[in-house]
Structure 1
Amino acid sequence: MNPHSDTLTTADGRTALRMERRLAHPPRKVWSAITDPAQIGRWFPSEVTVELVPGGAMTFSMPGAGGPPMTGTVTDADEPRLFAFTWGDDHLSWEITPDGEGSLLTLVHTFGDRFGGASFASGWHLCITALSQLLDGESTAVTPDTGELHEAYLEQFDLGHGAVEDTADGLRIRFERQLVRPADAVWAELTKGDEPLPGTPAPEGFTAEKIPNGPVTEVRAPTALAYRWHPEGTVRWELGQGTGHGARLVLTQTGPQEFDTETALAAWHSRIEHLAARLLEN
């Protein structure tokens, strides 16, 4: 299963992940595997109930997850060609077309969180691998992703670059990146034991080449740190809830209208990529 055949596109605030896989089994067998709750539970990490008609109700119960199950609604159930449904705010479409003696399975997952695209892709990659093994009569055990597959998709989908925003208070650089380790592990990597204190220079891990350091103005371990790099500018790191792999990093740098955003974008991109590589090692 080649991740390079997968695509991620964004339009009107919604992002669509498209994945195609050729399976050595006829459409009706594939249809059963993706619609029968007893089979779904063997390749998908959730218990599913489904009323297999358009408008039918669905539930998704993740083992070990507290609270009520997530719900969805069947939007298409055209056996053995198309199965589609909502899952919370997301929409998933599974299309099966004949391909010689087998089938071409096309998944389109549409969602609002563009920066979660690599997480969704790596998760579906493993699910469809297990689905293929189920169809082949093999064990559906797959090795969980420790981060490498996620990072490969993130690079393929070009989700690691920042943007320049023109705000009422001046220019702002913003990076958003899904990381593969939880916030406390990221914080430990950033601080290296040098716990930041208000008024003191930021630890080296929170700085980037060619970006002046400055006094810490806010610190909330392990989720936030800000420091003033310029009389009119602040660097801020935030580690929030991510998409299952780890923390979601949002890094911003504000400054006066004349500050060199091109240099800053390159510097922070390099710094965040180094951080991501280090997290894979730990």
Structure 2
Amino acid sequence: MFDLRAQLDAVRRRVHAGEGGDRLVVRLERSCPAAPGALWAALTEPARLGRWFLPVSGDLREGGSFAAEGNADGTILTCDPAKRLVLTWGAAESVVTIELASAGAGSTDLVLEHSVPAAFVPDAGGALYVGPGWDGALLGLGLYLDGFEPEDPSAFQNSPEVLEYNAGSIAEWENALRASGLATDAQIDAAVQAATANYTVLPEG
């Protein structure tokens, strides 16, 4: 269905402490095959979001609130079309920032950062609780921009191909977390175990 290694290699991953050292941040970077305006539409228009991510409802403007079906809700803090989107995700202190920059020839560089207070997680291993999830979202976005649209995006997220991708993603995030120096080996091992159970095992029922 897709080239597993190519999709994993398309994303650059980093774990770091936020400004002041009191926040934990996961950072994903990917080049997308779309001009900034087209990519912005895929990221912000409900009809498009439902085709690769999740159904999203609400007041989708700066200052408005939204809900992603079966996942998180939040508030849109900044909305600078085709450039920058900042929103809360599940809690006021949990902030997602998406930045777009034209890379020419119908290509756009996307940077996504999810930042939470360090106090929100037991340790820096918490990066593996969210990093693979955003990895899966960027997989869906990349495939959508390439013209692939599953009949049921939710079912696709639990397909054998995506579960295998998630396992590869966890390994990549483990490498990023080790490179950060923010967690002990024991903390990383525990986080990998938790992420594996969460992202590579089909939910019951």
Q: TM-score, normalised by structure 2?
A: 0.70
- Corresponding residue to 1:57 among 55, 58, 65: 65
Distance 1:70 1:100, change over 3 A: closer
1:124 corresponds, among 104, 109, 134, to 134
How far apart in 2 are the matches of 1:92 and 1:77? 12
- 1:149 paired to 2:169: yes
Deviation at 1:43, TM superposition (A): 2.2
Once the two structures are superposed, the pairs formed by residues 84-123 of structure 1 within 5 Å of their partners are 84-89=86-91, 90-101=94-105, 102-112=107-117, 113=121, 114-123=124-133
| Residues in 1 aligned to 2:196 and 2:46: alpha-carbon distance in whole angstroms | 26
Change in Cα spacing, 1:17 to 1:175, as seen in structure 2 (3 Å) is closer
Shift of 1:135: 1.3
Q: Does 1:9 align with 2:12?
A: no
Pick aligned residue for 1:32 from 41, 46, 53: 41
Kindly state the Cα deviation for residue 150 of structure 1 after the two structures are TM-superposed: 0.9
- Alpha-carbon RMSD across the aligned residues, in angstroms, is 2.5
SS of 1:127 mapped into structure 2:
helix
What amino acid maps onto 1:106 in structure 2?
V
- The 2-side partners of 1:73 and 1:245 are apart by 30
Aligned match of 1:83 in 85, 88, 91?
85
TM-score, normalised relative to structure 1 = 0.52
What do residues 159-181 of structure 1 show as CA deviations (whole Å, max 9, x unaligned)? 7625xxxxxxxxxxx7462244x
Q: Structure 1, unaligned stretches of length 5 or more? A: 63-68, 163-173, 181-241, 248-282
Higher relative contact order (CA 8 A, sep 6+): 2
Letter in 2 for 1:161: T
1:1-282 correspondence runs (5 A): 1=7, 2=9, 5-11=12-18, 12-44=21-53, 46-62=54-70, 70-89=72-91, 90-101=94-105, 102-112=107-117, 113=121, 114-140=124-150, 141=156, 143-145=162-164, 147-158=167-178, 161-162=184-185, 175=187, 177-180=190-193, 245-246=196-197
Identify unmatched segments of 5+ residues in structure 2.
1-6, 151-155, 199-205
Q: For 1:77 and 1:157, locate their aligned partners in 2 and report how far apart those are by CA, in whole Å.
A: 30
Q: For the structure 1 residues 17 and 70, does the alpha-carbon distance in structure 2 shift closer, same or farther, using more than 3 Å as the test?
A: closer
Identical residues among aligned pairs (%)? 22
Amino acid at match of 1:88: G
Larger strand proportion, structure 1 or 2? Answer: 1
